[in-house]
């Protein structure tokens, strides 16, 4: 099974040994998806977290008018999924699809449970990962509710420094909760201040 990046991630950050990881591989699967493929449909139950080995995914919702609202991008070394759906077995709020051809490792709850049994280090790592996720969501809500378009854009660049040239402007605008026209104005204003994002 090809999941070298994920293995390196878990060994280096999660404190799992190589022999422990070998015990955990039955609870993983790796698949390659083409641009445009959908990995999770809205209202479908999400069965596993997804770790991006290569490529780029996004999670988004559709409102009652069919408009997309992007919640998260997931480039290499990022996890994506609907944790509420996984944990509570509820229908997912999100659609997850492929922006760039992607190699994805599906990390099941069985993997998390078994890794937590095998390794105290992994148990602490997973707990920290969950808290980081909550902290990120809280900050995202705060930015969407009260921050200027410029501040949201600057935060996007800080969070996803390599995505400006990988995703279309309308997707960035959707993630920021602004129109593409507003994003153009923000970029023009920053350019006038000699701001260079990359």
Q: What is the pLDDT of residues 171-191, one digit of tens each?
A: 999 999 999 999 999 999 999
pLDDT mean by block of 10 residues, the chain; 198 residues: 85 93 94 98 95 98 94 97 92 97 96 94 94 93 96 96 95 97 95 78
pLDDT for position 193: 87
Q: What is the pLDDT of residues 10-42, one digit of tens each?
A: 999 999 999 999 999 999 999 999 999 999 999
What CATH topology corresponds to 4-118?
Jelly Rolls (2.60.120)
On the CB side of 117, CA atoms within 13 Å amount to 8
pTM of the model: 0.93
What residue ranges do the domains of the chain occupy?
A: 4-118
Q: Which residues, including other chains, have CB under 8 Å from residue 80's CB and lie 6 or more apart?
A: 49, 50, 52, 57, 59, 72, 74, 96
Per-residue b/e over 2-11, b at no fewer than 16 CB within 10 Å?
ebebbbebbe
Helices (H) and strands (E) in the chain, counts: 8, 6
- Asked whether the beta carbons of 106 and 28 are under 8 A apart, the reply is yes
- Asked whether the beta carbons of 169 and 184 are under 8 A apart, the reply is yes
């Amino acid at each position: 099974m090809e999941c070298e990046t994920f293995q390196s991630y878990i060994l280096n950050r999660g404190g799992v040994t190589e022999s422990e990881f070998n015990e955990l591989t039955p609870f993983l699967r790796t698949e390659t998806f083409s641009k445009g493929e959908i990995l999770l449909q809205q209202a479908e139950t999400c069965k596993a977290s997804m770790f991006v080995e290569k490529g780029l995914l996004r999670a988004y919702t559709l409102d009652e008018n069919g408009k997309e609202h992007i919640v998260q991008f997931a480039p290499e070394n990022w996890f994506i999924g609907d944790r509420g759906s996984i944990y509570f077995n509820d229908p997912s709020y999100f659609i997850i699809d492929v922006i760039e051809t992607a190699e994805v490792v599906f990390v099941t709850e069985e993997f998390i449970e078994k890794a937590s049994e095998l390794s105290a280090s992994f148990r602490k790592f997973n707990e920290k990962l969950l808290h980081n996720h909550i902290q990120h969501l809280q900050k995202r809500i705060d930015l969407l509710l009260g921050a200027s378009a410029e501040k949201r854009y600057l935060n996007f660049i800080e969070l996803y420094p390599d995505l400006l040239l990988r995703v279309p402007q309308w997707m960035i605008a959707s993630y920021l909760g602004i129109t593409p026209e507003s994003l153009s104005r923000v970029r023009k204003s920053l350019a006038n201040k000699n701001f260079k994002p990359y």
